[in-house]
Amino acid sequence: MSRMKDKVVIITGAAQGIGATYAKALAEEGADIVIADILDGTSVVREIEAKGGKAIAIKTDVADETSAAAMATAVTQRFGRIDVLINNAAIYASLNLKPFEEIDVAEWDKVMAVNVRGPFVCAKAVVPYMKRNGYGRIVNISSGTPFKGTPNLLHYVTSKGAILTLTRALARELGDHGICVNTLAPGLVLSEGVIENAELRDRLTAPVIASRAIKRDQLPEDLITPLLFLASDDSAFMTGETLVVDGGSVMH
């Protein structure tokens, strides 16, 4: 339990799915958890508290600068510091596969607002507190799709490609302040959302598994140890990097 002991960790989009898995795993490592989600995260908080951990849920619209700033203020008022930000919130499993000509501008803008503006806005909100302590870890969640050019999800793939470059540029700006910025890029994960989206499950699972060196479904639990590495001092001399975890589908 010492790996993340007394670290204050904000996880966006952690009220359900993979984000909830991250929250519970980090709590088990001793972190104080903040679930920043537009959805109600109290059930995850209760699970963490039932095992002796500390957690709070703050309703947060990651795409809204005022909401993100209020969240960061509330975290510091409660815990006194912010050590780690995991930019996990994203629009993905609710999307329908379609040729790019059929993606309307409103849907494109919605995906970009959450998937790209969200990590920018949240980093902007928490970095002043990290700078104050001369320490921070920002983990941006991307995807294996930008490396493949996955078709029929142009807005999603583009947004996750932007995360790779956002990470690199932000790492350059924050290195002198003791803040490391890295990317975790999962493959197709058998999450709650993917299971519920029959089209994603049916059309993508077989070809994705066939492309992997390790030919099985990827589970949320496969991401826990890599995330802990990036969120902890184990990766203290690593920044601007992307760690792909997908069973060997993408090798870069």
- Classify strands 84-87 and 242-245 as parallel, antiparallel or unpaired: unpaired
Q: Which residue has the tokens 């989600």?
A: 37
Q: Where are the beta strands (DSSP E) in the chain?
A: 8-12, 32-37, 54-59, 84-87, 136-141, 179-186, 242-245
Query: Is the distance from CB of 223 to CB of 191 less than 8 angstroms?
Result: no
Global pTM? 0.95
Q: Which helix (H) or strand (E) holds 24?
A: helix 17-28
Per residue in 165-182, pLDDT tens?
999 999 999 999 999 999
C-alpha distances in angstroms, 128 versus 109, 137, 232?
28, 13, 19
Q: Which residue has the tokens 């479904």?
A: 217
User: Which of these is catalytic: 22, 92, 129, 156?
Assistant: 156
Tokens of 208: 């994705």
> Who wins on pLDDT, 84 or 203?
84
**92 is an active site residue:** no
Query: Is the distance from CB of 86 to CB of 27 less than 8 angstroms?
Result: no
Nearest to 74 by CA among 64, 87, 59: 59
Query: Is the distance from CB of 142 to CB of 166 less than 8 angstroms?
Result: no
Per residue in 56-89, pLDDT tens?
999 999 999 999 999 999 999 999 999 999 999 9
Give the pLDDT confidence score for residue 65 in this predicted structure.
98
Query: Hey, where are the domains in the chain?
Result: 8-245
What's the CATH fold of domain 8-245? Rossmann fold (3.40.50)
Q: Angle, to 10 degrees, between the axis of helix 224-231 and the axis of helix 17-28? A: 60
Q: Distance (Å, rounded) from C-alpha 28 to C-alpha 210?
A: 34
C-alpha distances in angstroms, 166 versus 44, 115, 182, 183, 228?
29, 11, 10, 9, 21
Q: What 3-state class would DSSP assign to 219?
A: coil
Per residue in 99-146, pLDDT tens?
999 999 999 999 999 999 999 999 999 999 999 999 999 999 999 999
